[in-house]
Structure formats: C-alpha cells, structure tokens
Amino acid sequence: MQGYNGQIAVDAAYQVIVAHRLVTNSADSRALVPLIDDVRSHLGRKPRELSGDAGFANEANLSALKQRRITAYLAPVRARHGEANATGQRKLTKTPLMSAMATRLNRAGRRSRYRLRKQIVEPVFGPIKQARGFRQFLLRGLDQVRCEWAMIRTAHNILKLAKATR
C-alpha cells in the first residue's frame, strides 16, 4: 500500500490553507520550494516568514529561502519528545546554514517563531481529522487522491472564511 504525505501552507491570521502539495515520498524536503512557489502564485507575493518541521530543513532549502529573502524557522534536526531545545543535541559542523538555523532557534528559546508552527499549522489538521472525520483517502491513484485532498482543503477554507466573515 502506498502512503501519501501532504504539506500545507497556512495563513497565520485565519488558518486558511493558501497552498498544498501531496507526494508519495515520506521525505518532504523536496516539496518546500514548490510549495513556496505555489504560495507566491496564489497570493501574488512571497511569504516573508516560514516555519516548518525538521523534514523541510536541509542546506538546499535554506539556501533557496535565503535567495528568496524569506526568513526561515526550520528545526535542523528532529528533537525528541519533551526536549526543550528545538534543535536536539546533534552538532552541525559541516552544514553552515543548518548550524546558523540551530543558533537562531536556540537563541530565541521559548520565544522562538518556530514554536508558533504548532499553533498555526497543526490546528488545521485537527478539524480536518476530528470534526470532519477524515482519516483516510477514499479514492485510489495519485491524481485522484490529489483531487480528494484539494476538495478537503477547499471545504476547510470555505468553513474558515465563513466563520471569519460573521
């Protein structure tokens, strides 16, 4: 059985999904730059800041974000559950951009913009899974699953926007 990995870009103010990707590869690092490009094409401008989990953090992505002048907050390594440090214990001596990112996140501590990721992106998945009961894709095949994911995302956005206009 083939698994799918979905990424979303979320507007911080309203938790509206502004771009999405669905891939069959569990390593989602290659999806970051296309996701950013989708945000730019949908909104007409690039994001100023971006936060994401450790799956997106690598030298190539950090370099691409730097070239696009986007301030990034990406955890360079996966921290173990309960660790206060978002960068874990690993030393990043051979990767200068990852090392600089670790320093940025460590310096900010509890006030880190990276910590906001849990309040912005993760709550979008909760209502989709819990309130709407979406636990698995009903269709088969990558193209059909992408369409199903787009419909779920669209329904989420319509409900969020309806609440925002009340």
Average pLDDT over the chain reads 79
* This prediction's pTM: 0.73
- Among residues 158, 138, 159, the alpha carbon closest in space to that of 148 is found at 138
| CA nearest neighbour of 151 among 162, 137, 164 | 137
User: Are 140 and 128 contained in the same domain?
Assistant: yes
CA 10, CA 94: separation in Å to the nearest integer? Answer: 32
Structural domain count, the chain: 2
Higher-confidence position of 1 and 97: 97
Query: Which structural domain, as residue segments, surrounds residue 86?
Result: 48-116
Give pLDDT tens digits for 35-55.
899 889 988 988 888 888 778
Q: How far apart are CA 41 and CA 35, in angstroms?
A: 10
Predicted pLDDT at 126: 76
- For the CA atoms of 58, 143, 138, 1, the dihedral, rounded to the nearest 10 degrees, stands at -60
Are 153 and 108 members of one domain? no
**CA dihedral sign of residues 81, 84, 89, 94:** positive
Report pLDDT digits (tens) over 59-108: 999 999 999 999 888 887 766 555 555 555 555 556 788 888 888 877 77
Say yes or no to pLDDT of 56 above 90.
no
99 and 146 both lie in a single domain: no
Q: What is the mean pLDDT of residues 157-165?
A: 85
- Do 95 and 143 have their domain in common? no
- Do 76 and 61 share a structural domain? yes
Query: Are 132 and 84 contained in the same domain?
Result: no
Inform me whether the pLDDT recorded for 112 exceeds 60: yes
Place of tokens 């100023």: 48
Predicted pLDDT at 1: 34
- CB within 8 Å of 78: residues ≥ 6 apart: 53, 54, 88
pLDDT(18) > 50: yes
Write down which residue in 116, 138, 153 finishes a domain.
116
| Largest Cα span, the chain | 52
